[in-house]
Structures are given as structure tokens and as C-alpha cells.
Amino acid sequence: MKATGKNKIDAILRACRLIMRLSQGSPNMRQSQTLYYNMLIKYFSRLLQAHENGEFVAAHTVFFPSELIYAMDLVPMHTETTTWMTALFTGECSDILAAGSSLGMASEICTPHRGLAGAFATGALPRPDAMLWSNMVCDNTAKSGELIMELCDCPGFFIDRPFKDSEYEFNYLVGELRDMVQFLEDKSGKKMDWDKLSETVARMDKQIDLIRQVNELRKNVPTPFRPQGFLELLTIDYLFPGQPEAIEYLETLLSELSESVKKGEGAVDSERFRLMTFFIPPMYLMAFMEKISQEYGAVSVIEPFFTFWGEGRLDPSKPLESVAQKSYMIPEMRMFRPLDEPALNSIIDCAQQYKVDGAVFYADVGCRHSCATIKLFKDALNRIDIPMLTVDCDVVDPTITSEEEMREKLERFFELLEER
Amino acid sequence: MKSVGIDIGSMTTKAVVMQGDKIESFAIIPSGEEAESTAREAIEQALNGTETNLSNSYLVSTGIGGKSISFAKQQKSITTCLARGISSLFPSARMLIDMGAESSTILKLNERGRLTDWLGHDKCAAGTGMFLQQMAKLMQMPLEEMATLSLQAKNPAEITSTCAVFAESEVISHVHRDPPTPREDIVAGVYSSVVSRIMALAKRVGIEKDVAVSGGVALNAGLVKILETELGVQVLVPEKPQLVAALGAARIAGENIEKA
């Protein structure tokens, strides 16, 4: 297919609409899922039509505080999630990965980033009007933003988030955010709506609280949330921070889960294995992952570094400071900070609270950051006699792990858990 | 009812027939293209001379072809079967190093002989039985001769453990060197290369005594000796190391008969 500047977005939209059409009236489709797909359709439709509608597209990497983009009424484009969604909904993204490789990007580079470079280079994604990126969590993003800026010939802004956590560093980060707002105002011609940012921050605070409540319900045996449902929470956080539709989705989900708990209904017919998940399962195998989870009664009940928010509240009266504060609370941030004894103990505590039988670490071969934590987590969980399976895989590249390999590894692990 | 375990490996298929805790017979045959017909052949061979047939036995299958056996009553993963098999032979074993034709796996066991962790490599020929077979072909000597020759090595050759293709080039250069590297030193170097690959896995899991070995590669006494030196402990070697998984499968079959 010839790149049109929109074809990956088109493909995602077609898939979402097809899911909605096929599941209309299906008793298996929860209302929260309908809201979820509608949100995706709205997000990607807006992106697809942004330039025709004269809107300013601000592309940004993962963990970038897109509350600021929403508050300025610009169109956000979450770059990594767009690559994931391509793999999730189209089954593969070998064309954009190959295009990334042909730019000279080594196969060891994180595939969402290699794919992004390929997608922008071939025009498979719309050209952003500005590229925004940061060094929050991931080093790949720090380099990727620069490359996308070069490939798309667009202006860009890099938020330098200090590694340390003192008051001085916090104020420095707030300064960086202020400069970024100035940059966006200059480039887009739009002004920051500080009242809107305050409202967004207030909703983000509520959003975090709702996710905490969802997690509380997941402690129940049987757990009420779908085996891979946490990926929905992740997408909500990444694409809709502090947005009204995110609140609506989470409130609906919470009410559905509460109802299931009241009725004693679990997410799988017969819950056998309660799992703790580290990192992201391959997106191109999601249908299979759901199937094998149902087959074996295996459910992810907690993801300490994806859905387990750090302590703290956001203060709408100090919106910019709150956006900075949020960066200290996001679950992934704790995985990529120094993993000291309290941090490792928090995993143990989490495993006990959620009555975890075993853990699965999806070791993304392109993410050296997360792979460096494997032994630490495994040793920590072994202290309380919880085994951990490590599966070498990739979030989007199907050539690393096939469905058969994934099945074999998971089945071996489920047997191990059963034999105990 | 007899309990039968069958392990369909990439090179050989192994069948073990048990009555209670006692091994009655076994068979080891080359794996054919059709897992099901090879399995039938191995079982028939193992049952030959007994009054048992498939209809009055409980069969558990394992190995890479284990899922293809339609007449098996149960399929179990190779790791579960290895753990069960080795703990029945050596109850004190806390670590098993399985060295098969196409993969090496390190297993950790608890005091009940149950699997607690495993780590394997199966994406590369280096460090596997296939690699050793290829080296034997290159050295123009049978595997059995290699196994004893290495014990005479005085100065083992340095051979890479990262890639089977590079290792093969290195062996060729040792053979054609003037003067050529002594054959026993080359063989010891080949074994060291396999062992270093296994040691990398073992260290990641954590070495714990008692250590046992299984798989066809464990038949190489020279390799086992190098492994013992590297591990710093004596390893437990079953009489028929290649039968451990089939034995484990037969044990599970026996447990299922008891439960029924």
C-alpha cells in the first residue's frame, strides 16, 4: 500500500469501527468497552482530519504531559501508542519497521521507535506541526524526538526532566514546562487556557483515584477485570489524561466491576492463576493472549509499573506544578528510577495484597531499561516464593516470538504453578 | 494398568514403561518425520515381550512432538517431566542441567522435587547436541570416541561459544594448522565451548547443590568432567540420561492411575 500520510491512522480507525460494528448488541461487549473504542475512534478521527480542519498537530512521545496540549486545544498524536495500535489492530507493522531499518536504525533499537521513524519517513503517519519529547522514563524517546523532527522538518521541544527528585530539580522541571508552553504558543498561535488546564488537572487527579479504585476491586477473588484489560487503562492514561471521556470510561468500568464483584463473577470462567505482569505483552498476539488466559484461567491482577500509581494528589490551583508532580507519580516512572529496597519491597507487598500466584515479565528485547530490572524483580518475588516467567519478546515485531513459542512458554509456566 | 511415558525429541524418541515404581522396559529410537508413528513404534518396541498394549496402559507424552500424539491420555511440558523424572532418580537434586539435541535448559527444583524455575536457550545451535554432532562429523570421529578422547587433553583449544558457525570455522583452522592442534585438545575445546554456554545460563538461575544432568549430551563423560570443574561440584549422572523426561512422563502417568 502506498503511503498517503494517513494510512496507518486509517487502518486503526477501520479496525476500531469494525470491532464496534461486529460487537453491536453482543452481550460480551461491556459498556466500558464500547466507550473505549468510541474514544479511540474520536482520538484518531480528530488526528486524521486535523490538517483539513486547520488544527495544529502536536506529536509527543510516551509520558509527555499531553494535558498541556489538550488545554491549548491542539491535536495530540501519541507516537508510540500509534505504533502499538498499528500492531494491535492490523496484526503487524513489518513495513514501517523495515522502513526504519533502511534509515540505518539497528534491529536492537526499541521497535515502537524504529517503527515510528519508518512511519514518518514513508509518510504513513500525518506530518506533525511540532514534535514534543522528553527524557521521562525512556532514553529512546530522548533520541527519537530529534529524529522525527528532522524527518518531518518540523520544530520541536525537548523537556529535560532531571533524574534527581529534590525541590531544586522540581522547580527546574516546572520551568521546562513553562518554556514548552511558550514554545507551543509561539508555534501554534494559540494561547494556553490556564483555567482549562486547572480543570484538566482536577480531572486527572480524579482519573488517578478511579484507577486506584479499579485496582482495589481487582484484589477480589475471582478478579473481575478482563485478563489483558490493563492495556485499556494504559491507553486511557496515555491518550486521554484528564479528559472527560476518560472519567466517563473509568466510572462506567468501576460500576461494571463492582457489579461483577457483588455477583461473585470473575473475568474468566474458572480463575486458576492470578498473575502479576511486568511490561507489555506483544500487541500482535493480543487475541491469542486473551484466548490462552481464558483457556487456563490466568488473569493479570496487577501491574506494579503500569497501573499502580504512586502516592500523592494533584492540586488544580497549581496546574503546572501538578503536571510536574504527576511525572513523579506515574507507575512506569518507579520502574526506571533507582530500584532500592523500599521499591522492591513494594512489589512484594503488591504481590501479597493481590494474592498473586506467579509473575510474567514480557522482556521486550529492544528495551534495555526494563530488561535490566528482570533479575531484581525475580529475586524479590522469589523471597516470598512467587515464581516469575521471563518471556523474550517484542511489543510490535512478530519475528521475535511466535504464537506457538508464547503458548509453549506460558503453558510450561502454568504447569509449574499448578504443580506447586 | 501400566504407566507409559514418551518423550518425542528432535533427534530421538524415548519411551519408558513402568509398573508401579519399577521401570519395566524402555526404547530409544530415532525420531521420524511423523511424531505419531514414531511414538507408536517406540512404544511398541518398549512393550515388546510384555503383555501390555496401548489399550491397557496410561500414556503421558512430552517433548517437542508431545502434543501431536492423539492416543496419549495427557500431554505434559518437558520441564515438568524432567523435574519429575530426575527427582525420582535423585531426590536430593535441586538443579538439573538438561542438554538436549536442540536446546539446553537449567531447571531448579524444590525439596518435593517440583519445578520452581527454569531457563533455557533454544534459539541458537551453539551449546547443543546438534552442535556436538556437527563437530564430530567435522573431526571425522564418532561421538563415543570424542567423549573419551577429551579426557586426554593437556591444553584445550579456545573455541567460541557465541556462534556454532564461527565455532566450526575455528575447529577447521585448528585441524589445518601447522602443526595441527592435537585432536584431544580440539575436542576438549569444543566441550568447553558448550559448557561455557551452559554455565552462563546456570549462573543466571543460581547454582544450587545437588546438581544433576540429563539429555543425550550428558553421555559425554569428557563434557561432564569439564562441567563439574566449572560448576565446582560433582554432578549426578543418571545411567540413561536421555530417558529422564520419558521417565518423568511415566511417573505422572502412574500418579494419574493412582488418582483414578
Domains in chain B, number = 2
Q: Cis link prior to B210 (omega < 30° from 0)?
A: yes
What does the pLDDT read at residue B51?
67
pLDDT per residue as tens digits for the range B125-167: 776 888 888 888 888 888 888 888 888 888 988 887 667 788 8
Q: Do B117 and A387 touch (CB under 8 A)?
A: yes
Complex ipTM more than 0.85, yes or no: no
CA distances from A372 to A335, A367, A419, B207 (A): 10, 9, 29, 21
Identify the closest residue of chain B to A388 by CA–CA distance: B117
DSSP A135-152: -SS-HHHHHHHHHHHHHH
Angle between helices A139-152 and A79-90 (to 10 degrees): 90
Q: Is some CB atom of chain B closer than 8 A to the CB atom of A416?
A: yes
B247 plus B205 within the same structural domain: no
**One domain for residues B101 and B175:** yes
pLDDT tens readout for residues A335-368: 777 788 888 999 999 999 999 999 999 999 888 8
Tell me the chain A residues in contact with residue B75 when contact means C-beta distances shorter than 8 Å: none
B56 and B117 belong to one structural domain: no
User: Residue B24 belongs to a domain with what CATH number?
Assistant: 3.30.420.40
A416 to chain B: closest CA residue: B115
Put simply, the chain A residues between 395 and 414 with a CB less than 8 A from any chain B CB are 408, 411-412
> Distance of CA A219 to CAs A213, A350, A356, Å?
10, 10, 9
Q: Domain check: are B84 and B153 in the same one?
A: no
A265 touches chain B (CB under 8 A): no
Give chain A's residues under pLDDT 50.
1-3
pLDDT digits (tens, 9 = 90+) for B189-209: 988 988 988 998 999 888 999
Cis peptide before A222 (omega within 30 of 0): yes
Of B114, B117, B119, the CB nearest to A419: B114
**Whether residue B153 sits in one domain with residue B122:** yes
Contacts of B117 in chain A (CB under 8 A): 382, 387, 416
Q: B95 with B83, same domain?
A: no
Question: Do B1 and B126 belong together in one domain?
Answer: no
Contact A412 B117 (CB under 8 A): no
Say yes or no: B171 and B71 in one domain.
no
> Whole-prediction pTM value?
0.89
Q: B156, B148 in Cβ contact below 8 A?
A: no
Distance CA B169, CA B159 (A): 10
Rounded CA separation A403/A140 (Å): 27
Number of cross-chain residue pairs from A and B with Cβ atoms under 8 Å apart: 29
Is any Cβ of chain B less than 8 angstroms from the Cβ of A420?
A: yes
Q: Examine the domain organization and report whether B7 and B42 are in the same domain.
A: yes
A384 and B CB contact within 8 Å: no
- β pairing state of B104-109 and B115-121: antiparallel
Say yes or no for a CB contact (<8 Å) between A416 and B79. Answer: yes
Residue of B86, B109, B118 best to disrupt the A interface, most CBs of A under 10 A: B118
B145 and B175 share a domain? yes
Q: B106 to chain A, minimum CA–CA distance in Å?
A: 14
Q: Which of A385, A416, A417, A418 to mutate to test the interface with B (most CBs of B within 10 A)?
A: A416
DSSP A15-27: HHHHHHHHTTT-T
Minimal Cα–Cα distance from A385 to chain B, Å?
A: 9
pLDDT > 80? residue B242: yes
| Of B83, B116, B204, Cβ closest to residue A387 | B116
Set out the domains of chain A in order of their start, with CATH numbers.
7-192 (3.40.50.11890), 196-419 (3.40.50.11900)
> What's the confidence (pLDDT) of residue A2?
44
CB-closest option in B78, B114, B118 to A420:
B114
Same domain for B172 and B143, yes or no, is yes
Q: Kindly determine whether residue B77 and residue A412, on different chains, have CB atoms separated by under 8 Å.
A: yes
Chain B residues with CB-CB distance to A419 below 8 A: 80, 83, 114-115
Q: Which long-range contacts (CB under 8 A, 24 or more apart) does B18-24 make?
A: B18/B247, B18/B250, B18/B251, B18/B253, B18/B254, B20/B254, B21/B88, B21/B254, B23/B247, B23/B250, B24/B50
Q: Does A162 touch chain B (CB under 8 A)?
A: no
% pLDDT > 70, chain B:
97
Q: What is the DSSP string of B206-255?
A: ---SSEEEESGGGG-HHHHHHHHHHHTS-EE--SSGGGHHHHHHHHHHHH
Q: Do residues B51 and B136 both lie within one domain?
A: no
* Mean pLDDT value across residues B219-243: 94
Q: At what angle do helices A79-90 and A7-22 cross, to 10 degrees?
A: 50
CB < 8 Å from A in window 39-78 of B: 76-78
Residue-wise pLDDT tens digits, B74-121: 999 999 999 999 999 999 999 999 999 888 999 999 999 999 999 987
**Which range marks the domain in which residue B222 is found?**
91-237
